[in-house]
Chains A and B, each alone.
Chain A
């Protein structure tokens, strides 16, 4: 495998003929290593897949990453090694595929349409030995519950419930809603901002909230 600095990678990948073919072959080998590593890290959730299936998944992810890299060569700014930048695509492709595999049998419709567990999160809010703290906890939770019930959209409630309680990966939620990561992240960010603003305006700054709910009492 040829040693390449960042500029060499860019030049060879854009070159015609044999130089490009060699660079593509080398890059693909690097990407395959990263994809295999990422899938191995997710191994416990992919144990039902035969080793040959995982090899094929890694091959597919490396190929997907290679194609993405070739369409985005102009985006490489040179603030990291080219190979580190390229690995990012392979790791991303492999983990998205692994999450898809792990969640493909889960009926997200039913999960999202269910009663949701957000309301139950506060069941322990009024517990604890210290009466003053108990009251403050209950007051803080009442603010949170009010925002959850009356100020967030159905989508925001569903997203919070899916991500926080059901541990649905953002990728999978985005796929299910035919959306994308950025949009779902913004949806949840808007919900968090609303919750934080309301809590602060009612006398519960961030530090106070964490202190109130830390530990049992």
Chain B
């Protein structure tokens, strides 16, 4: 259930930190944070700062969640064209 606006305001006030990362920094940290979450890696200081930003910023949070879910569900060899049979090879990036 979506929290009431008053609850959201109070939660956001309560979670406010003197220094918070910007949306641009959040964007830069998303890929590694998503991979760490999917790998079950332990939280880091940077991850905690990112999480606080995601708690305050609905659009960044949505992008994090969609990216995470896509990476989790994406086949290792995406088809060249959606719907087309894949003859692709896995991307074994480091």
Contacts and interface: CB of A to CB of B under 8 A. Distances in A.
B13 A195 contact: yes
B40 interface: no
A88 B82 CA distance: 18
A185 B63 CA distance: 16
Contact of B78 (A33, A144, A185, A192): A33
A69 to B, nearest CB: 12
Contacts of B30: 88
A111 interface: no
A81 to B, nearest CB: 4
A80 B59 contact: no
Contact of A75 (B8, B28, B71): B28
Contact of A196 (B13, B71, B81): B13
How large, as a class, is the contact surface on chain B?
35 or more
A192 B13 contact: yes
Interface string A144-165: 1000000000000000100111
B51 interface: no
Interface in A162-217: 163-165, 167, 169-171, 181-182, 185-186, 188-189, 192-193, 195-196, 199, 206-207, 209-210, 213
A33 B23 contact: no
A26 to B, nearest CB: 8
Interface of B: 5-16, 18, 20, 22-24, 27-28, 30-32, 34-35, 56-59, 62-63, 66-67, 69-71, 73-74, 77-82, 87-94
Contacts of A144: 9, 13
A209 B13 contact: yes
Dominant SS at the A interface? helix
Nearest to B23: A181
Contacts of A186: 22
Contact of A206 (B14, B20, B56, B80): B14
Interface of A: 1-7, 9, 25-26, 29-30, 32-34, 36-38, 41, 75, 78-85, 87-88, 91-92, 95, 99, 117, 121-122, 124, 144, 160, 163-165, 167, 169-171, 181-182, 185-186, 188-189, 192-193, 195-196, 199, 206-207, 209-210, 213
A88 B67 contact: yes
Nearest to A2: B89
A163 B11 contact: no
Given A38-B66, A121-B6, A88 B16 contact: no
B32 A80 contact: yes
